[in-house]
Every structure is written in C-alpha cells, then in structure tokens.
Structure 1
Amino acid sequence: MVFSGWGQAIRQFLDDEKFRQNHRIRTWIYVGLGLSMFAILVGSILPPRYHFTVGQTSPTTIVSPTTTVDTAATEAEKEAAESKVPKQYAQSPAVLTQAVNRVDILYAAAMQAASDSSLSDADKLKNVRSAAPAGVSQATLVRLLTRTPAQMTVLERDTERVVEEILDAPFYQESMQQATLLVDRQILNLNLGLDHDDALIVQNVAVSVLKPNMIYQAQATAAARQQAALSVQPVLIHAGDIIVAKNGIVTQDVISKLRDVGLYSSYPSVGIAIGFALFVALSVGMLAAYVERRAPRRRVDNLLLGILGLVFVLMSILISVTKWIIAAGGPNSIAYLLPISLGAMLITVMMDSSLAVVASFYFSFLLGAALNFNYDFVFYGFVGSLVGAYSVARVTSRGTFMRAGFFVSLMNIGSVLALYLLQANRSADLHSLSLHVGLAALNGIFAAILAMGILPFFESAFGLLTPIRLLELSNPNHPLLRKVLLEAPGTYHHSLIVGNLAEAAAELVGADPLLCRVGAYYHDVGKTKRPMFFVENQMTKDNPHEKVAPSLSHLIITSHVSDGLEMLKQAGLPKPIQDICATHHGTTILWYFFNKAKEQDKNGTVKVDDFRYPGPKPKTRECAIIMICDAVEAAVRSMARPTPNRVEGVIRKIIRDRLQDGQLDECDLTLQDLDAMVGAFMKTLKGIYHSRIEYPDIDKLRKEVAK
C-alpha cells in the first residue's frame, strides 16, 4: 500500500503541468544531465596512471590498454642473441712461416755448432741455446748436439712436417694447452719412424715454435653481434595482457612494462578531466540550444526532457561499460558490438526522429571520445544511429524494431568495410575484418532487442505505452488463429481454456503471463492438419482411430507437434512460442493408445517407450506451465462426473505424474510453485466439463509395465 501510494503521487507529479513547464526544473535537468554524463564517462576518458615502487603490492589487476614493444624484454632477447654469436677469427699464414723459420734457425745453429771442432761442448750448447726458441729444454739441445748433420737434417724435416700439419689448420689460443698432445698425435699419424730420443727432440722443438694462427677480429665480431641483435623480433605487450595481477608484487619488469604502455606516471590527468568537463558542458549547451529553439508543436516538455536525459545517461553507461570491458582485458573489437543506435531508436519512438538525429551526433562523439578519440568509431556510431532513428520513425509492431535492426546491421557492415578500404596501410588481417563485420552485424539485432526490452520500462514509468508484439499475436484475426478457429473449432476452444489456465498459473509463479497466454493460443495449431483425429473436433461418435492401428494413431497424434512447429516457423513466430509448441507434451506417453496396442498384442512386443512424444522436455517455466495446463484441461474435460474434489485430485495426479516421469527436470518450477498452480487451476476450471474419452488408469498400467 505504501509503494502504491508513492507511485500514484509520483505519477500525479509527473503529469502536473506545473512540473512539465517549470523553467527552473528544466535548468536543473540540463545541469543534472551534464553532471551525470561527466561522472559516468570521465573514468573512460581519463587514462589510468600508476606510480609504484619495486616491492609494492598492486591493489588491482592492471592490463595493457594497447599493443606495444616490451623494451626490457626486447633488450634481454637482443643481449641473449649477441651472447650466442661466437668471436670472429681470421687464420694468419704468417704464423706458420715464422714457426718454420724458427725451426730452421735452430737446426742450422745446431749443425754449425756440431761441425765446429774448435768449440767446446759448453760453447756449442751456448751457441745453440742462443738460437733456440725459449720453450726448448736443455736436455733436448744436448740430445740434438749428439746427432750427426744428416740426422739433424732428417729431424728438421720431420719437425717442419709436424708444425705444418698443425698450423695449416685453425689453431686457437685455447689449443696451446693441448699442444704436446697434438704434436704427439701428428708424429704418430705421419709415421716418421723416430726412436724415443728423436721423438722427444721433434716434440719439444715443435711445441716450442707453435703459436695461435687464429687472430681475433674485434670489428667483425661486433658487426656479427649487431646483426644478430637486429634480427631479433621485438617482444610485444599485447592489448589485454595482464601486466600485474591484483595483490601481485611490483617488480622492475612491471614498472618497465607500465612505462612502455603509458600507464606509469606520478602526475594526475587534471588537464584531461578539465577538457572533458568542457566537452560535456559544450555538448549539453548545444543540445539545450537546439531543444529550446524547436518549433512550438515540437516542444519538449520537462517530462520528455527528463526522458531524453535518461536515454543519454543510459547510453553513457553502455559506453562506459564497453570501455571498462576493454580496460579489463577484453578485446577492442567488442566496441563494434556496442548498440550505439539504441539511443536514437528510443528517442525516435518516444519523441521524434529530428531530435534523434541531433542526439546521434552526441552519442557517436561520446563513443569516439571514450575509445581514445578514435574517429573510426565516431563515424561507425553516427551511421548506425542515423539508420536506427529513421528505421523506427513509424512503429506499428515489434517487427518494426527487427527490421530496423537488420538495416542497422547492414549499414554497420558497410561502415566497417568502408573504414577498412580507406586505410592506406591495411594492417588488419582478414580474420580481424571478418570479426568486426560479424560483430557489426550482431550490433543492429542487439540494439533492436534492447529497444524492445527497454521500451516497456519507459512506457510503464512515464505512460508512453505502445503496441507490442505479443498483443498483436493475441489478436484473433491472426491467420493461424483464424485457421484453428475455422478448421478445428474444438481445438480453438481448448487453446483458449489452456491460455486462461496458463495465465492464471504464470501470475502466481513469476512467469510471463502474456507469453503463456499467447503461447497457449498457438500450441496446438498443428492439429489443423488432421483435425478430425482429435476428439475435441469430432462432431459425431465416429472416431477415425478405431479404423487404424494404435501405432498409426500414435504417429498421427504426435505429429501435430512437429506440424505445428513447422507452421509456426513458416509464420515467423518468435522462438519462445515455437518452444512452447515443441515442448507442450514433452516426452510423455500416449497411455490410451499404448493400452489399446497392448490389448491387441499377441506376442508381447509392445513397448511403452514406442508410444512417447518425441520431446524435447520443457526448459522454461512458461513451457512447463503450458504442458501442465494442456494435460489438466484435457483430463478435466474427459471426466464424466466432475466434482471439485475429483478435479483437484486429477490436477494433483497429473502434476505428480509429470514429476515422476521427469518431464519437469529441465525447468525451474519448484514444488511450491506447482502447489500454488493447483489453486489457480481450480478457480479457472469452474464450469468447464466437456465430454472426452475416459482415460485409462495410468497407475494400473504403470504397474503392469513394471511387471
């Protein structure tokens, strides 16, 4: 009662001419609109800024708003690539020449000293030592002087061969540690035939003259490493990547990434906030100038001005939510799904198209501003809004909105393609283009659905009621309903009673009463294919089922579901009504024909599952309500001596049977809902006692089947 009183008071205030024409209230509406738009959208306009220190805990999850290069990771990759490049060397032939010369000098000095008889052994050794490389040992020189010149010549040749074999190949500084091993290996490989002492002489002399012949090239190494660094692909931070999770520790890498994506700053964006405030003020001011200068016959009073403001607030919220999804890591392409034409549609229906055209400018500019001042979205939003405004200029039914949605989708696709072709460098691949086209196509349908869903709110809240689709479908002059009335009058009457039962039940359990009523009107349209096979349409006692087999009767009866579904699809009725038709029998059993087939069966081959409806089972409350109401109406009509107690017993038995058979497993009706529906049925069924065939005792049949 309190809420009802408040509602009446508010409605009276809104209808009062003093409110509708008050200039002060009008001014406050404009001010409130500007403040609301600024408060809702400023978060979308301002770029987020963070100022963390290493080791700090992040209070929120931060994702990258754009795709850019990760400088720290890229530098690390370059350093890793450079470290993998080996040092560059060049082989010097002069090292071999010098080594051979030193061998020649040593052996020449040894031959000369050995052949000079005037010298003492000490002088000979002294002379040879002065010509010998530093690495030649004293013992080697002593052994060498004991050899004859001919032997020395052989040793000189063998030593030069060993040195040439080693220094003809690359010989690095690191190889010096294995010089002795390399020389010994060459002595063996060359098969020189030296005795132990001669081998020691050759080994010691060769090792002493060996020097690295691979010269390090610093400039070439630097160039190779630079080329390796240039070949490294930049490491990217992709839009939507999580930089740091909530309660995560901020590291130097996190700070580097925040800098790369432009989210690291210690200064608030005061200038941007002031600029956006001025942007909103100018927008609202220009809108007010247009509204106030309109012709008197198009004047917008305070009530309509308030509704206009609410539409602007609604669109601001949708834009803000879209930006929030993107900022939270969602794809940037989600903006193409934003139903920007919704505002223009609503304004056109509730006011007029000229005002909607002006509003379209503001909606598109607000969208572009929120999405980083992207002109593409300004153009995309403006085209969609204009098409939406003109497409619903004359609304006669919900179909108008659907047609408008298709037009908007078509123009959205055209806008996306035009913007793609206008790009000088078409960086977007075909996959991204197809995604944008698909989302743009869904956009118009989405906007139409939202418009149909939001309009009832404005209609009920502000008295702006308009015809809706379900009311149109409830019109008896609808072709399908006329067909049922003329070709299957019994079914038509049955559908009306089911509609009354369903509406009463839906009101109690929180379902959609109007959908239940309209769905009940159409749930049995398939019976018009063979109306005389259904008892409510039989004008005489002649029953055609008596002339056919029970299995054929089962097919005829169950086919009315598929026939009706096909007729509804061809007529273009909404899917919820098609679902009601498809599920109003679920997978229940035709007990009458099963019993008849069982009586005729001589071999015991009849199975109860062969006499089930194909389904599916109800998945919504409305479908389940129609299923129960259809069964209740049929059962009560077939009762010979109906009394309130017997009727209630039949109703509860039907509900219990549906529960036990699992027909209500996929919908969300509770036991409390089902109990409440019984009372609604009892009130509605008064006076409805039409003759039907007596149904067999289902419990008895169940027991027989179980046995």
Structure 2
Amino acid sequence: MRQRAQKIFRKLGYQKIMMMGILMIGLILYGFLVDSIRGNTYDINLFQLSSETIRSEKTVEDPIKTELERDRLAEEVAPSYQFIDEIADNQTAVVESLFGYLADAKAVPEEEGEERSSEAMMAQLREDLRLMETSENGLRLTDEMLDALLSLSNNSLVDVQEELERLLESYLEEPIRVEGVARIRTEIEQDIRRSEQIPDNVVLAAVTIGRFGIIPTEQVNEELTAGQIEQVRNSVEPTRILQGQVLVQEGQVVDREVYRQLELAGMTEDQRNYKPLLGLLIFVVIAMGLMMAVVSRSQKDDRGKITEVMVMIVVIAIALALMKLIYAVSDNFELVIAFIFPSALAGMLVRLLVNERAAVYVTILISAAAGIMLQSGYSSSLQVDVALYILLGGLAAIYLIDRDGGHGRLMQISLAVAGVNALFVAFYLLIGQTQYSWSEIGFYFTAAIVSGLMSGALAIGMLPFFESAFGMLSTMRLIELSNPNHPLLKKILMETPGTYHHSLMVANLADASCEAIGANGLLARVGCYYHDIGKTKQPQFFIENQVNIENPHDRLPPEKSRDIILAHGAQGAEMLRKYKMPKEIVDVAAQHHGTSLLKFFYYKAKETVPDIKEESFRYIGPKPQTKEIAIVCIADSLEAAVRSMKEPTSEKIKKLVDAIVEDKLKDGQFEECDISLKELKKVKAVMCETLNGIFHSRIEYPKETN
C-alpha cells in the first residue's frame, strides 16, 4: 500500500496531491455540516404548514444528483495511452541518417582526388541536415558541434553512432509520455556524458543528438478514453427518492427543496433557499485557507506534509462522525448531550502525530463545526456554548502534552481535561437563566468527566492504527522505544556493552545536531540506540567490545573480516524487522553506513590482491534517505574516530569533524537525502561543541608508581 501511495505521489506531484487533500477537507466539512444548516420547513403547499406527514408514494430518480455523480466520476477517469513500437526504429533510423550525412560529407569524391576543405564539408552537411533542423523537434547542431564530429576518424564516428543508437533504443523501448520527456532527456544526457565510447570533444554534439532522439512513445487513445468515460457514466446508479421516504412531517413548513422532491414524486414543486449553503461554503473556504497556511509552515518535506494533511483529514472525519452520531440521537433527550463529545480527542491525536500548530487549528475547526452541527432546540445559529466547551478542552490537552509523556501521562492529561470540562460546565450552568434540577446538574458534570476520560482512552486506542496506516512514528511511541528495559536494548547492553556505550554517545551527538536544523532529534536518538544491534551477532569482532581480548581480525583474511563488518547493518535491520520495529528505526540500522568504503580492510586486501574491486568492500546501503539518518551517519563515524584519538583538543576535534563530513560528501553519501550544505555547517558546529563539552574538562591524573 505504501509503495502504491509513493507511486501516486511521484505521478501527481506535491502540489496536486496537496490541493486534493485541502479540497477533501472542504468536501468533508461541507458534507457533514450541510444537513445541519438546512431549514426544516416542509409542506405540500409552499411556505405553509403541512397538515400531515407526507411520504413518497414511489421511487423516482433525482436526475440532477445523478448527473452530478456521473460528471464527477467521468472527470476522474484517467486517459488511456497507447504504446507505439515504431518510434524507437524511426528515431534510430534518423540518427543513422545523420551519421550517414557525416560520412558522406567526409568522403572525397573520385573526381576531386584530394581532401575536401572544411567549408565544403560544412556546406554539404548543412544542406543534408536541413530537413532535420526544420522537423517538429528541430535538431540544432552548431558549427562547432559539426566540426567536432567531422574531426573524428571514421571508426570513432561509427563508435559514437552505435553508442547513441544503443542508448536511444534502450530508452525508447519503454513507455514515455509527454510529461516524462524532459526527465528521460536528462537521463540520456547523463548516460552520454558518462559513456567511454564518446570522445570529450563531441559530448555536446552527442548530447544534442541524444536529447533530439527522445520523443513520446505513448499517445492518448481518444477513442478508448471516451469509451471508458461512457462506461463509467453508464455504471452510475441513479440517485433516487425511495418509496416510503418521509418528505415532510406534520406541522412543518415546506421549503423549496422539499417542493422539488415533491414535484419529482408527482405531488408539487418548489425552489431551494441557497443562502445557508452559501454561508457554509464561505466557512469551508476559510477552513481550507487556514489549513493551507498551517501546512505551509511545516518543516517536513513534501511527502511529510501530505502525510500530515491525510492525518488531519482522517481525524476531522472521525470527530465529525462522532458529532453526527450524537446529533442523530439528540432528539431523544431533553438535555444538551453534546457535552459528552470527547472534546480533546482531535487535538490529542494531531498533537501527537503532527505538531502543536496543526493541533490548535484542528481543535478550532472542530469546535466551530460542533457549534454548527450540535445545535439544540430550534436554533439555526452557532451553538456558542458547545463550541467553547470543545475549544477549551482541546487546547488544555494540546498544551499539557509534552515530549516526556507516555500512555500513563496521556491518561493524566485526560483527567486534567475532565477538570477543565467540569469547570466550563459550572460556568455554563451559572451563567444561564435556566433552573436545573440536581439530576440535570449531575448529568452535565458526569458528561464533562466522561468526555475528558474518553478523549484519552480513544486517543491511546487509535494511535497504533494511525501509525500503521500512515507509516508514522509518534512521540509517544519513540519514548516507549527509548526505555532501557526494552528487550532489544537490554540485549545490546548485556551482550555488547561497548556498543551500548557507543550508541549512547552517538545518540547525544545526533539528537543535538538534529534539533539545531529542525529535524526530529528524538527519532535520531532512538534510532541510534538500535542502529548497531547487528553487532550482537558477533560482538567480539567490533573494537569497542574487545576488552582484554585479542583482536580476532588479526587471524582472519581481510575478505572474511570485511564480510563480518559489512553484515552488521543488514543483520541489524533484519532483527529489528523481526521485532516489528517501526520502519524509521529499521532504516537507521540499514542506512547509517550508506554505501561507504571499509577502507582499512580494503587497503589491507589490496596489498595481496592489487586489482581487487573497491565495490566489494562497500556497505550495501542504501545511502541515507533522511536528514536524521545522514546526521546519524556522521555522528557514528565521528564518535568512533574521536574515541581512538589521543589527547583530543578543540582544534583536533574540529579538523576531524570537517574531514569526516568532507569525506562523506565527496563519497556521495548524502546524495539521496535533502540535507543542505548550510545545515551540514550547523551540524558540524553542534558536534564540535558537544564533543568539546565531553572532553574539555578531563584532567590528566599522575600515574601510580606502585
């Protein structure tokens, strides 16, 4: 499912998906609230009280709603594409013709009997290439490019031709759509620049020819697409007014919407009042705009922002569904049962899964929606008391949640929310002019306490489902994983105490560095605790665990030592997967070495096998995919290096930090994550400061003489 979501993300892009998410919020709000703002005035005679309850006498289709549904589904039909096999052959034939013209221009006619001048060759070549230059794509080769090509020997020219044809065939045999042409042209350009078959002086010409050769191989099949749209439209079940459906209750006033339904049922007709709908639309637009502003301030990457939006959508939908349930049964009670709604649920979930700013926004939105939906009596305006009740309870939970809490802490917060709710109920009862019995007062205070406790209980119960569905790792879950009593952490401590201490040191460096650049420091810290768990497989082969024992690598060939060292990342990731650890933690174990080179054993092996391949001594990777893992990668190498340093000073530490970061940059270890050079500069400064704080106060004590 996650792979499918990633595929959709790549296809549509951040902007489209974000707009779809914001629009979904609007549709959900509008859909849940629209019934609450409609007037309940129905009658067989327009604007008059109905003398009886009127039900539809037959099932009839509502053509307007049916057509809207058909249009909506028709707009969602993706175009059908058709792959054209001949394009690859045509483009390679064009390249073949181009190089044929080059060969012809270089050839010396028999009647001339001497080498042709460059002007003559260029004139003939320009004449031959005229059609290509005026084609749809327009091959544009400068005189310098043509001179470079003409300067090649015939054999070199053939090599360039064959290489270009090979590359074009490899790319054009795959489906390419119009929107993907630019990306494929960039890829073939990179391949051409890396090719050893193409001399440096003709690279620009080869790139121009290669990019010219890439054109779409897939085209929209208009006929098939139209057929699919028609099929989808025909498959839509008509929206119907069902037989026996109540159209108007006795004593109610008939409005225009009811009149229209009565007309469809063969009874009468009416028009609908659109003012409340327009007012609700304005509210929805405001909500969508605020959400866009909240998401735009997030420090996450595009994919992270989309995940945050999806979480907010689901939380809002759940809260609105609970409101709808309460609203559905409210007519059976004389009291205001809206106070039983879990006021802090939405705020708690969004605070734990997203951030505080988003949680405040969702709480305000839910409270406003509750004021609209949970109306009591015959009021059609905003129910301010219910809105304030949910707003204050939600804000109390948001600002009481911190990074140091767990499930127990969340229940304590729920008790605090219950207290806030009870205080608001006291305010509500005291400020009102209504006289309440003791049973009614008891009901309202009980509802307030149940609301607070239910908020925490539901949040705890729902968190695992959100984490699983959206691949998220909440602060609460990270705190639980950092508990030293966790079985895996106890395993590391008992079996590899040196690695355990190393992990703590790396965690301190990574946490501080992540906080400095706005990354998730807690995630980096917890990931460090587990990143070397693979060393528990063979702990004695890692130097931090070699206390008072001989280094076993001294008795092994470098290839064997290499296999043991390189395996610990993959083995650790596999162990974490077996324990069903979060993907983010598994990724730290798998990626914290990237594809870096195991230099010591590589050079040791090279002493006996000079032509040994460097790739065989590199970690399998992948390279760090996030800022947090990139920082862990630096901290891991740095801690090990500083630990082996004699008499570390501030200057030595700074040089070491600079050297390690520079080495990883040159080795391309940060190519697949979005950490910037500016952020790396901050990371280096924080790591130097942290290490100086550890080592600067050490005092060299005199050695004992006994």
Range of TM-score over shorter length: 0.3 to 0.5
Alignment TM-score, normalising by the size of structure 1? 0.40
Computing the radius of gyration over CA atoms, which structure comes out larger, 1 or 2?
Answer: 1
TM-score, normalization by structure 2? 0.40
